């Protein structure tokens, strides 16, 4: 039987953006006590969560996604505002939004992935795509008034970067938190 691999497809973030986000997160951390904030190394934008799959099924998706190289084009991503899922009233996930240029580029990439993985046995995502960078998770409720107030005055300054590839990332769950490792890099056409 083949090994089971937990993985997802993601846009990697430039080191400078991760550094700036880590500084931003450190300032938010001071306004909360029970929220678990993301580690700098783990920051990314998920394109598709693949969950636990046999290693040979994951191996089979690699050639299918490499083909994107002749179809998909690089694009720009710009960070936007901090938001929360399911909403600001009782936030469970804090995230930073993104905008792509051209505006449909990220959606085209995500839909291309969905279309190309379906024949390989990866079910299409039924929930609408809401691209985001997860910054923190709140499992234990706490008062976020100070956090929202702070954010009004200190938003994360927009940061733009060119997306020239995406990755297949393995997620290894450890007691101290998930550890991510790039299994494969997929270039976008130049």
Indicate which residues carry an active-site annotation.
44, 132
Task: Based on the shown chain and the rule CB under 6 A, indicate whether residue 42 belongs to the binding site for ligand 2AM.
Answer: no
Work out whether the CA dihedral 138, 178, 117, 83 comes out positive or negative.
Answer: positive
134 binds ligand 2AM per the rule CB under 6 A: yes
Among 98, 100, 138, 171, binds ligand 2AM (CB under 6 A): 171
Residue 43: DSSP 8-state: -
Query: Binding ligand 2AM by CB under 6 A: which of 46, 116, 148, 183?
Result: 46
Q: Which of 41, 49, 78, 177 binds ligand 2AM (CB under 6 A)?
A: 49
Contact set for ligand 2AM, span 77-106 (CB under 6 A): 93
CB 47 within 8 A of CB 166: yes
- Using rule CB under 6 A, residue 129 touches ligand 2AM: no
Nearest residue to 25 (alpha-carbon basis) of 111, 134, 183: 134
DSSP code of residue 4: E
Binding site for ligand 2AM (CB under 6 A): 8, 46, 49, 93, 134, 171
């Amino acid at each position: 039987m083949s090994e089971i691999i937990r993985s997802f497809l993601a846009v990697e973030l430039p080191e400078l953006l991760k550094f700036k986000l880590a500084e931003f997160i450190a300032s938010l951390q001071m306004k909360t006590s029970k929220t678990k904030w993301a580690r700098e190394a783990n920051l990314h934008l998920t394109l598709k969560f693949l969950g636990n799959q046999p290693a040979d099924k994951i191996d089979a998706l690699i050639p299918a996604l490499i083909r994107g190289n002749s179809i998909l084009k690089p694009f720009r991503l710009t960070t936007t505002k901090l938001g929360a899922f399911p909403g600001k009233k009782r936030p469970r996930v804090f995230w930073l939004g993104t905008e792509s240029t051209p505006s449909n580029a990220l959606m085209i990439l995500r839909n291309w992935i969905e279309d190309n993985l379906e024949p390989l046995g990866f079910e299409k995502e039924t929930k609408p795509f809401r691209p985001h960078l997860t910054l923190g998770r709140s499992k234990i409720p706490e008062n976020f008034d100070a956090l929202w107030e702070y954010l009004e005055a200190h938003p994360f300054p927009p940061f733009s970067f060119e997306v020239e590839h995406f990755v297949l990332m393995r997620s290894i769950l450890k007691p101290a938190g998930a550890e991510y490792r790039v299994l494969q890099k997929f270039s976008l056409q130049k």
